[in-house]
Structure 1
Amino acid sequence: MNISDSLKIKNAQKIMLRGLGEGDAIEALRSKNNIFRIGEAININQDLYAILDSSLNFSHKLGLPIHGIIGYDLFKDLVVEINYTKRFLKLTNQEDYRRKSCKGCEELNLEFYKNKPYVNGVVDIDNRNIPVKMLIDSGGSDALWLFENEAIGINSNAKFFQDFLGHGLSGSVYGKRSKIKAFHLNKFTIKNPNVAFPDTTSIGHALDHKERHGSVSGNILKRFNIVFNYRKGKVRLKKNRFFKESFRYNKSGIELAHNGVRLVKDDTGFVSPKTKNKSSTVEDNTQIVYSPNYKLRLKPAYVILELRIDSPAYRAGLKIGDTVLSVNNKPAHQFALLQDLMELFYGNHNKSIKLKVERGGEVLTYSFKLVDMLK
């Protein structure tokens, strides 16, 4: 059975998609007139794209089950509210939406290019205010991406470092990380945000839109509760409790990914000899193998996927492919989410990190301190 059969895709057409990254275009299936449901919201005329390359799996990079991405074809006929503080997405029919008065809200115009939303803002670089047109990238985790353009003054300042920026449809994206003085969205001023300047080799496709200067992403957007109205070309912003939160970044040089499972000994107590060599499955699909004195559980394995050259972790001796066993003496499998583990790498300058890893069947321990490259 092929992917179009398993997803019950009708009238599937093979196409090539090009996204961010240093690689080539990828093969996908395009299907029209599908029925798509989220909660009680139903779209009966949904375009669907199925990626055929199994290596483009966001789930193992995020440590969560990710089955796809929603976008313009769903949003265009609905009013979409994203509440980052209460963590919900609300979809409302245009006919049923009642716009509430809102003190402190700011409404901005949306512009669309190839069905993607853009908003106008201003960046303050070296005490110069530069108008910019930014793609709204709600799926990105950074704050701002800017495309370097010396003609209008968009470039990295003296303090920056080269880093892995993320994964696109066409591969990994690399570039510079830095900070700017401020980013303005009408009356809202966001001070000292992180900014990334992706390499031109990774963003050739994005530069097709000549008026685009970059992207505004999750670490900016999460500071607002947002209402999108694509049909009217508007987006409404209201500051939330994250607005004044400081901007942080990964100071270790390590990017982790979920990579299968590993057997973990659970010393929670003595197990009756009657259960020796038996196994069972519990609710979270964790398989348990019983032994007289302990249990063996299958738990997620986290490996080093990317490692910044000359970073603290790199200098300590860690390598891509190492399986992380513990961080600061806490077993890796005890972190509820991959993001919770990664959060330790966003700590303050000089914070000590101790990693125990497995490499080629050997258990190794490394220690280093986080370094703030932008101090």
Structure 2
Amino acid sequence: MKRFVFFVKVIFLIGNLGFSQDNFIIQNKHKSDKIKFQLINNLIIVPVEINGVTLSFLLDTGVSKPIIFNYLNVSDTLKIKNTESIFLRGLGEGESVEALKSSNNILKIGDAIKLNQELYAIYDANLNLAPKLGFPVHGIIGNDIFKDLIVEINYSKKYLKLTEPEAYRYKKCNSCETFNLEFHNSKPYIDTEITIKNKQIPVKLLIDSGGSDALWLFVNDSLGIKSSNKFFNDFLGHGLSGSIYGKRSKIDALHLKSLVLENANVAYPDSTSVLYARMVKDRNGSLAGNVLRRFNWVFDYKNAIATLKKNAYFKEPFSYNKSGIELAHDGFRFVKEVDDRILREKVGISNNDAAMNNIKVVSDMHYKMSLKPAYLIVELRKNSPAERAGLLINDVLISINNKPSHQFSLQQITEEFYEDSGKRIRLKVDRNGKELTFSFNLEDPY
């Protein structure tokens, strides 16, 4: 299946906040629990219960403390208490954002529970991941789980396994590789190597499961870390402090010891957007979801090691969005549909009849108005096939290749834009109440 880059990335640089004295424990005799997750745009979405309310959280190794996006006043439902206002700073060129810091919260993931959890509620409505993912995401969680438990991430079978360190037993694995972890502000880094223009370069990378790109590198001319002549400028995502732009290209190879990914995607963010991220000594970038998902991982923060083994995604080629369109879920719109229930009653069609393709002629059709998801063009790459065809930001997608857009998830539609170059795409859109049709061919962006 084609994979693509999620264009929203939120990285929280909270740093030096301290830890609660309480730890996560597993409430069963095995001291271990397995939790299924959803993998959406290379991102792990896991169910988390806070103060008795089950929510969907992004699992992000790049965040220190749990974050709740309070655009729906979730904190009222969660009965969040003991709050104080603070300001957080992250990626992007904008200002810090205000958040409420709360303590004494009960947090559960499967059978793992912590009774005194600090978390942060952010009220900025722009920090809402749901429209960009097409899936409800209420917050982000990271270090508090990883520091207390051994965390296995099985990307291929889509589950987490959480185990108390004293109960974990390593299995012999000749095909695995193990890296030492280095921590800065509670975030994990590894030393590895990349190849650019046939030169092998040592790099220190943040392990960032909260980003869906493959690899971010910070330009460093003295080390030879810079884009090749084949690149394109693009919107890279939203940080906590604003939008992030930069160049996208490819590198010759990413070396995770004996495990080598060739012709990997890379983004070079503008230096002003990652000023705070570059404050970590010798950091050269981030290793994100489109690389991480190609392996199954065991994170052992107590012993400061991470073990990885390639999985079924390992050999999938790296690709880019060949349309230039970035979509977001934008609420719902009314769609006129044939009322299948009334139609069946009127002409006496049974489910078996329909399965046998019996044809009934009906002159008096009955319709119903249904609320269906609306998908909005929110970013449009300059000089892309979609822009040249005449599409605009804020166009609402009605159909793709003559099929109603509401029949697809946001991820399914976006996957169409990662198909082979030359594929014809036909889009019908609503522009200020007027239906317009555009066609273009997918093409490599660089």
Tell me what 2:54 maps to. none
Of 222-231 and 162-171, the range deviating more from structure 2: 162-171
The answer (yes or no) to whether the contact 1:303–1:324 under 8 Å persists in 2 is: yes
Q: What is the distance in 1 between the residues matched to 2:336 and 2:275? A: 48
How far 1:145 sits from its partner (Å)? 0.4
Once the two structures are superposed, the pairs formed by residues 121-270 of structure 1 within 5 Å of their partners are 121-267=192-338, 269=340
User: RMSD in angstroms over aligned alpha carbons?
Assistant: 1.9
Which of 339, 342, 363 is 2:414 aligned to?
Answer: 342
How far 1:103 sits from its partner (Å)? 2.1
How far 1:349 sits from its partner (Å)? 1.2
How far 1:270 sits from its partner (Å)? 6.7
Tell me what 1:286 maps to. none
Tell me what 2:397 maps to. 324
Question: 3-state DSSP class of the match of 1:271?
Answer: helix
How far 1:248 sits from its partner (Å)? 0.9
Question: 3-state DSSP class of the match of 2:226?
Answer: coil
Q: What is the distance in 1 between the residues matched to 2:73 and 2:327? A: 31
How far 1:272 sits from its partner (Å)? 6.8
Q: What is the distance in 1 between the residues matched to 2:337 and 2:101? A: 46
C-alpha distance 205-101 of structure 1, shift in aligned 2 (>3 A): same
Question: 3-state DSSP class of the match of 1:333?
Answer: helix
The answer (yes or no) to whether the contact 1:223–1:242 under 8 Å persists in 2 is: yes
Q: Deviations over 1:194-249 (max 9, x none)?
A: 00001112111211113110000111011100010111101010011111110011
Tell me what 2:189 maps to. 118
Tell me what 2:177 maps to. 106
Q: What is the distance in 1 between the residues matched to 2:121 and 2:444? A: 40
Which of 147, 157, 162 is 1:76 aligned to?
Answer: 147
Amino acid paired to 1:200: S
Percent identity over the alignment? 59
C-alpha distance 33-189 of structure 1, shift in aligned 2 (>3 A): same
How far 1:4 sits from its partner (Å)? 4.4
Question: 3-state DSSP class of the match of 1:193?
Answer: strand
How far 1:2 sits from its partner (Å)? 6.5
Q: Deviations over 1:23-44 (max 9, x none)?
A: 2111111123422101111122
Q: TM-score, normalised by structure 1?
A: 0.92
Q: Deviations over 1:326-369 (max 9, x none)?
A: 1111111001x211110000111111111100001000001111
The answer (yes or no) to whether the contact 1:143–1:219 under 8 Å persists in 2 is: yes
How far 1:251 sits from its partner (Å)? 1.1
Question: 3-state DSSP class of the match of 2:222?
Answer: helix
Amino acid paired to 1:305: V
Q: What is the distance in 2 between the residues matched to 1:45 and 1:119? A: 30
How far 1:22 sits from its partner (Å)? 2.7
Tell me what 2:128 maps to. 57
Tell me what 1:278 maps to. none
Q: How many pairs align? A: 358
Tell me what 1:312 maps to. 385
Q: What is the distance in 2 between the residues matched to 1:312 and 1:57? A: 28
Q: What is the distance in 2 between the residues matched to 1:114 and 1:92? A: 23
Can you give the 5+ residue segments of structure 1 that lack an aligned partner in the other structure? 276-290
Q: What is the distance in 2 between the residues matched to 1:305 and 1:328? A: 20
Q: Which runs of 4+ in 1 moved over 3 A?
A: 1-6, 272-275
The answer (yes or no) to whether the contact 2:245–2:269 under 8 Å persists in 1 is: yes
Q: What is the distance in 1 between the residues matched to 2:341 and 2:77? A: 45
Tell me what 1:282 maps to. none
C-alpha distance 4-130 of structure 1, shift in aligned 2 (>3 A): same
Amino acid paired to 2:214: A
Q: What is the distance in 2 between the residues matched to 1:348 and 1:66? A: 31
Amino acid paired to 1:368: F
Can you give the 5+ residue segments of structure 2 that lack an aligned partner in the other structure? 1-71, 347-363
C-alpha distance 104-2 of structure 1, shift in aligned 2 (>3 A): closer
Question: Does 2:380 align with 1:294?
Answer: no
Amino acid paired to 1:350: G
Amino acid paired to 2:434: E
The answer (yes or no) to whether the contact 1:16–1:28 under 8 Å persists in 2 is: yes
Q: Deviations over 1:259-313 (max 9, x none)?
A: 11011122253727999xxxxxxxxxxxxxxx96122210110000111111111
Q: TM-score, normalised by structure 2?
A: 0.77
Tell me what 1:45 maps to. 116
